[in-house]
Structure 1
């Protein structure tokens, strides 16, 4: 499909020949910002709507006084270029163009609308983080194969690689941009726990709204803080030597969990349940449930070991 520039009426890309293969990412022509982004106004709105008959148009309705709009616009501009002309991005200043905003039914900003064939396909309101914008776009457009990792993915990768300080810095930046996206604050708390700053992590969680503070993700981080605080130090674990009593087994398992060695820790806790269910008022089972909370209900280890726990109990 040829992409038409609504400013000139000229095609931005050539019409593909019939019966040709879909180009790969390396074969797709690169586009510049100027080719895929246009400022919408009364003078070109008709051309933009006509252009949507050839290529989808993403309308970003914003206002100069809107801070969330200022956070969202660079994300949309980046993605418009990254998606290589799969859609045009048209930005509309609703204050400068109130009549157009009224015709489009804009009641609050930011308001993003996907228009194709002259009609509304979908929309979202509010400044979604980059990861969520990508997920929304991917409902309608193939994701670029060479897309760089989103900030959220970079933070997760840093945390997995043991770079807790790097993850913390990314989450702090994201929180500054999206203060009401509470998943970032929970991510920050995770990074703080990994840095050994449990008190600061607990403070972050305590400042969440009640419905977020009591939900599974936040409970999981609290459980991680408790594991770190309860577990013996590496030196103390070494001092246990060859002890095989229930207390020694439990402390080794707790240290493994605190260090993120969940598979080994869960297996050790399950073994302790089989051997000494009564140990410390059923501590092994209770800790298993805490680990499930920390990992989340959908985590593969939670699914596997919850099934094993059920088989052991019943």
Structure 2
């Protein structure tokens, strides 16, 4: 359950900077979750915002997430630049937040730049999305979700909290007045059933089925870049989930063990240590030959596929790989 996540570490850090969260209980304890019995009724408009999508860091987490969550739900989108599924999910969430008119706030968190926030939310894979209400996480999901499902999910959250958090209805009323009435819900784009099958498998944690679905798409459309990126991501997620925590230590003790180096690179990449993972495999290519060299090179090229082609870390590592090969 998302409610088991402990946000007190970041909250305490923020309090040390001189301001306690609005609505905090005596002694700095967080207020109870809005979704439970006896939840507080919060009145008044949310703190002023420069928009409905906010970039959150460890320094402003208290103000932009904890304090805001006392008046409206805060949807926390945990992402990273190298994560291709994140680039599918985040724009949809941003679109829905803009349509919401302030009834809820989208807080985007780069987990590479803010590892303490990722640790507090116990992030195992990305994209991961949490909803924070009254300073407590109340629900979450992982992976990419279709826009209609996201729209329905957010609507259910607002329906459940509207009576307890009057600022939701106030924001909805303002959005209706600004647009001359209730804003029309845009027609959802038609879904590709092939991608839906892959995403459903991924939601179930069935990586093999997801890989099979994406491979079928590529068999029909070899140039489908969305399927290519998703397939690379799913394959990596499957390996990362089974990664041995001691992989890096074992690889450092056995520099000529190519399989150990590949496993360690996966572990480093999963931990956000992108340059370290790339550098490890480039050095493995340098000191090996034959099949071992090919295995290290192919694994590194597979990791490149998790990133945009123009990512500077990929560009630099491709140059280093070329020098190692030639």
Q: Does the pair score TM above 0.5?
A: no
Look at both structures and tell me which one has the larger radius of gyration over its CA atoms. 1
Q: Normalized against structure 2, the TM-score is what?
A: 0.39
Q: Normalized against structure 1, the TM-score is what?
A: 0.40
